[in-house]
Amino acid sequence: MTTQPKTTEAENPYLTREDALTILNTPDDQLDELIARAEKLRRKYKGDNVGIHILTNARSGNCSQDCAYCAQSCRSSADIEKYKWVSDEKLYRDNDFVNKNHLARHCIGLSGMKFTDAEIEELAAKIRKMKETGTHLCCSIGFLTEKQARMLKEAGLDRINHNLNSSRAFYPNICSTHTFDQRVANIKMLQGLGYEICSGGIIGMGESKEDVVDMLLELREINPEAIPINFLLPIEGTPLAHKDTSGLTPEYGLKVLALARLLVPQADIRCAAGREVYFKGEEKRLLSVVNSIFASGYLTEDGQGIEDTIKVIEDAGFTYEIESA
């Protein structure tokens, strides 16, 4: 594993909560200066590479949790496909696709909060098979027991995604079936077992700028390998179906992403859900800050195809290639 360059205080001063709020309130006519500041750190740590990820929805729907934004939650009536396991054919085809196209990582999402040991062993068998090709694997899988986390680690799982989603103060507004602190405790347990961590949030659910800052400051403390920032895609049948997203301008989104880069400069900053909707025509500025994106969709929502994604990256003057496993 290559050693990350160190950032000096002069290059990127330690930001206080007040500093972070000031950055999020940057006037639009000063945005390019903020992007240039973030780009220096992006290029220092990540060069001009963009990691492309494919997401397979391995278990869909029937979740016991009531997350307001999610089409798979227990209070969603969204018209989605529901199944316990995606077919092995689809799972392994996606894995081969990642390798064939030299993508960064295969991300695997499973709905639900708790799993039986037998279900985890079934998943572990699938992971062992996919690791035969050397694919870097990440699972988004709710809450695991330490025993279950060890089972998947021994099978070869590299990374686990567990998002904070919002601030500690705002969290009860979007979920009542588990707490923010449970999420933090789960992440710390996984880090203790040696997992890489992917943890981020969702912008546009009605939170304040203070909430965004507080979430990003929590993420600075967690120091994950990757920070995916999603921009709300309101889904019919969910409590946030008619949420006003007019405040999700490209300018505001870029300020959020730039702040994430300044707070956790060595992390992969990923523009996840909403990229194709909110940043169309802004790819050059977007990729000057972030170094990671999805192609081909987000669990229950469609996304940009791989060929178009690669074209967007190359037209903006960046490259894509495999990240080392």
CATH of the domain at 129: 3.20.20.70
The answer as to whether 10 is a domain residue is no
The answer as to whether 1 is a domain residue is no
In the prediction, which pLDDT does 183 show? 95
The full DSSP string for 44-73 is HHHTTEEEEEEEEEEEBS--S---TT-TTS
Local structure of residue 272 (DSSP, 8 states)? -
CA–CA separation, 325 and 309 (whole Å): 22
Structure tokens at 248: 């999700």
Phi, psi of 246 (to 5 degrees): -65, -20
**Which amino acid is residue 62, in one-letter code?**
N
Long-range Cβ contact pairs of 23-26 (< 8 A, separation 24 or more): 23/255, 23/258, 23/259, 23/262, 24/209, 24/212, 24/213, 24/255, 24/256, 24/259, 25/209, 26/255
- Asked whether 52 and 319 are in contact (CB, 8 A), the reply is no
CA–CA separation, 228 and 140 (whole Å): 12
The answer as to whether 5 is a domain residue is no
The answer as to whether 30 is a domain residue is yes
State which residues form the domain around 182: 17-320
CA–CA separation, 164 and 143 (whole Å): 13
The answer as to whether 6 is a domain residue is no
In the prediction, which pLDDT does 1 show? 44
In the prediction, which pLDDT does 78 show? 78
- Asked whether 220 and 212 are in contact (CB, 8 A), the reply is no
- Asked whether 293 and 25 are in contact (CB, 8 A), the reply is no
In the prediction, which pLDDT does 300 show? 44
| Number of domains forming the structure of the chain | 1
The answer as to whether 290 is a domain residue is yes
In the prediction, which pLDDT does 25 show? 98
The answer as to whether 62 is a domain residue is yes
The answer as to whether 124 is a domain residue is yes
- Asked whether 211 and 166 are in contact (CB, 8 A), the reply is yes
Nearest CA to 43 among 261, 221, 216, 230?
Answer: 261
pLDDT in tens, the chain (325 residues): 445 565 556 566 799 999 999 999 999 999 999 999 999 999 999 999 999 888 899 888 778 787 888 887 778 777 778 878 999 999 999 999 888 888 888 999 998 888 999 999 999 999 999 999 999 999 999 899 999 999 999 999 999 999 999 999 999 999 888 899 999 999 999 999 999 999 999 999 999 999 999 999 999 999 999 999 999 999 898 888 999 999 999 999 999 999 999 999 999 999 999 999 999 999 999 999 999 998 864 444 445 678 888 888 999 999 986 443 3
